[in-house]
Structure 1
Amino acid sequence: MTTTPRSPRLLLLTTVLLAVAGLALLGMPHGQEPSAPAPSPATQATTGGASAAAEPPAGKPTAPAAATEPSTPSTPSAVESALPLHGEGAAGDQVVQRNLAAAWPADLPAADERVLLAAGRALLRADATGVGRTQWPTIFGDSGQTVAPAFATARFRIQAAIARRDHSPHTAVVHLVWAGTDRGGTFTDLRITDWHFTRTTTTKGASTWTPQPRT
């Protein structure tokens, strides 16, 4: 178990205060009761807010008490918030990505993860903004050309994305967190969308990840 080292500045202030108190007691006439000095901020920090000692009997000044070891200073919590504040912007995206990856550890080969992430991002962008819908005819069909996009391309941003197995080695899900401004001008972030994929094998033995229509 380690302890926090004492602050040199705090120890120096405590030593000076104790020396002054000792000189005041030595210079006081014999038999006169010393008045209790008001606790200074440094003394309070040193004693950690402990209650004052009992007043010494009249005519018998005592030597100043030894400095109490300062309590361990409180430090800001190292644990980050699970999610940044709404509206924080791109500055909070790294926090979202880091916490998302930590909550759901990687379980796919790196090559598969890269393919799935690229496909998941493209699908989300096509679904939200209409850009690239023709690349996915089995997902959007004819409606990809007739349904107006719900979000403006300029205000669309993917904040975080991970690809993980979905109950078996042959199925996967891309989990995306994103932000965007809808056609009414309302901006919202930390939206969540999942795209599911299945692994298919071609006649030549190559495998590909095929996206599944959203239900």
Structure 2
Amino acid sequence: MTTTPRSPRLLLLSTVFFAVAGVALLGMPHGQEPPAPATSSTAHAVADSSAATAAPIDSPPAAITKPSTASVASTPSEVLESALPPHGEGVAGDRAIQRSLEAAWPADLPSADERELLTAGRALLRADATGVGRAKWPDVFPNVGEAVAPAFATARFRIQAAIARRDGSPNKAVVHLVWAGMDRGGTFTDLRVTDWHFTRTIKKGAAAWTPHPRT
């Protein structure tokens, strides 16, 4: 049987095709697969992306939610209470209490008046709690000559923080004190709060802060 020879043109086209395919395969990075045809899910994702891009630009923006003010402390006492260290923190917590007081009640007195009021307020609190120094304040402690057992032990008494601020007018002030002490029953308690009120008076031609007796 005689076989009809193939067309030279067909052989040439086949050779060129395989040569081009070989060059393409050699130029492809090792391990890289030829790109797969787009599937229906890919086409769907592209369509969704195009739809999102084509959204009208004049659509109303999303509503901006303002931060709630319900959780913000509205009074200085709430600020102080939220910032105080836990009971029993000791001397290490006193600085935090002082900072909390100063943040809750910003300074509003001249520095000289503030120093005078703080000195007097601390001394009054110590005298009231421990009995030490009551003779200096006969108008506040009228029974100073009587033998009265102190309510708190001097050795376990400590003022943790104190500030002096105006009390409704320039001629009135209050000293806020936070303190710790052990009572006669042996119970030690910290974060006690005491206020001493003062009025500016004129004594011998000079202004001075006079404390109010405790009621």
TM-score grouping bracket, smaller chain normalisation:
0.5 to 0.7
Q: Hey, what's the Cα distance between the residues in 2 that align with 1:149 and 1:121? A: 16
Q: 1:150 and 2:151 equivalent?
A: yes
What is the total number of aligned residue pairs between the two structures?
Answer: 140
Q: Matched residues in 2 for 1:178 and 1:150: separation?
A: 14
8 Å CA contact 2:177, 2:193 repeated in 1: yes
- Could you say what the CA RMSD is over the residues aligned between the two structures, in angstroms? 2.1
Cα deviation 1:152-190 (Å, max 9, x = unaligned): 000000000000000000000000000000010000000
Residue 114 of structure 1 pairs with residue 98 of structure 2: no
Q: How does 1:64-213 map to 2 (within 5 A)?
A: 82-143=83-144, 145-204=146-205, 206-213=206-213
- SS of the residue aligned with 1:189? strand
TM-score, length of structure 1 as denominator length: 0.61
SS in 2 for 1:137: coil
3-state SS of the aligned residue for 1:139? coil
Change (3 A) 1:104 1:140: same
Deviation, structure 1 residue 202: 2.7
In structure 1, the gaps of 5 or more residues are 1-25, 31-79
1:144–1:105 distance in 2 versus 1, CA, 3 Å: farther
Residue identity in the other structure for 1:156? F
Deviation at 1:143, TM superposition (A): 4.5
Query: In 2, are the aligned partners of 1:158 and 1:179 still within 8 Å (CA)?
Result: yes
Q: Is the 8 A contact 1:122 1:132 kept in 2?
A: yes
What TM-score, normalized to structure 2?
Answer: 0.61
Q: CA deviation at 1:144?
A: 5.8
- What's the CA shift for 1:147? 2.2
User: What whole-Å deviation, never above 9, does each CA across 1:3-58 have from its counterpart, x for those lacking one?
Assistant: xxxxxxxxxxxxxxxxxxxxxxx99xx9xxxxxxxxxxxxxxxxxxxxxxxxxxxx
Question: In the alignment, residue 146 of structure 1 is paired with which amino acid?
Answer: A
Q: Percent identity?
A: 75
Q: What code does the residue aligned with 1:82 have?
A: A
Amino acid at match of 2:83: A
Consecutive aligned runs of 4 or more in structure 1 exceeding 6 Å deviation: none
Equivalent position amino acid for 1:93 in 2: D
Alignment partners' CA distance in 2, 1:193 and 1:146: 24
Aligned letter for 1:207? Answer: A
Q: Classify the secondary structure of the residue corresponding to 2:123.
A: helix
Shift of 1:145: 3.5
Report the residue type matching 1:118 in the other structure.
T
**Which has the larger Rg?**
2
Is the 8 Å Cα contact of residues 202 and 208 (structure 2) preserved in structure 1?
yes
